[in-house]
Each structure stands twice: as structure tokens, then as C-alpha cells.
Amino acid sequence: MNRRQYLTAGSICALSSVAGCLSLFESDVQLTSVLASNLSNEERTIEVRVLDDGEELQSNELRLDPVELGGGRGRQPSTEKLDCGWDSEPKPYTVEARLDDEWESLDVASEADSDCVFVRIYVEPPGPVLHLRVFPCDDIETGDEEFVCEFTEID
């Protein structure tokens, strides 16, 4: 065997020895809520869906009122919670949203810094543009029960 064959054989052995370890990098998260907020001055309707490994678990259309100019409170966005059509089990969730034809997609587990998260979808001007972001459950405050799924316990 020449040197090139040894290197090829060694590479194949090294790759096959770590192939089973790649599954360790896949992670699941508990999804406690999906919220949509409109930061634009016009009413917006968005479609939102939650998927588990490509299978649709929840799909809704949310109507979001325009941002309100609150007396002394600044701009107050209209916020709606997606119905919780998934369970409390950690899974490899994906959240997708769209204003028009093109879906914006968020792989929740890959963006999460903790195993318990919620997702916020922002409709921002100009454009408007959709932004999807993941936040840890630690950011949920007491009194926010209306914005989380029934199975969520707030400390």
C-alpha cells in the first residue's frame, strides 16, 4: 500500500469512529410560547407555523394592530400569542412566519442558549420586515402568564 492509500484508509476510519457522535450535537428544546409583535404603523396579518422535525404541529394567522403611541410610555407594539398546539416535551422545533409569499424560518434549538425558550416574531418597518428571535425562559417575568403556554411554570 502506498502513502496515499494509508491516508485514505486512516481518514475513513477516523470519520466512521465519530459518525455516531454527531447525533450528540442535535438538541431539543421546550418551546413555551410564540409571540408576534407589530412595530409598524399599519395593521399587519402574518401566518405562523410550528414544526417538529418537518411535521406541522400548529398553524395560525395572526392579525396585529398597528403600534400605539402611548402617553409617556413611548411606542407600544401590538402583541399576539400563537395558540399552543404543541406539547411541553422538548423537541427540535422550527418556527416559520410570513407576511406575503416567502417564509422566514428559525431552527429554534440551534439558536437557543438554554433548554427552555420562547420565540418572538417582530414585524418591523420599513418594508415591513420579519425578524424571528429566541429568548430563554428566564426572561419571562411574573405576570406574563397570558403570554406563555398553559404548561409553563413561571418562577
Q: What is the rounded CA–CA span in Å between residue 135 and residue 62? A: 20
Q: How many domains does the chain have?
A: 1
Which structural domain, as residue segments, surrounds residue 73? 25-147
Structural domain includes residue 93:
yes
Q: What is the rounded CA–CA span in Å between residue 76 and residue 67? A: 6
Structural domain includes residue 37:
yes
**CATH code of the domain in which 124 resides:** 2.60.40
Over residues 63-68, mean pLDDT: 92
Structural domain includes residue 12:
no
pLDDT of residue 3: 44
Q: Could you read off the pLDDT of 6-17 as tens digits, one per residue?
A: 434 444 444 344
> Taking Cα atoms as reference points, which of 57, 36, 10 lies closest to residue 104?
36
Over residues 119-144, mean pLDDT: 90
Structural domain includes residue 3:
no
Amino acid type, 51? L
Structural domain includes residue 89:
yes
Structural domain includes residue 75:
yes
CA distances from 70 to 3, 67, 73 (A): 74, 9, 5
Structural domain includes residue 39:
yes
Pick the residue with more confidence: 150 or 142? Answer: 150
DSSP 29: B
Q: Could you read off the pLDDT of 7-59 as tens digits, one per residue?
A: 344 444 443 444 434 334 458 999 999 999 999 999 999 999 999 999 999 99
DSSP 91: B
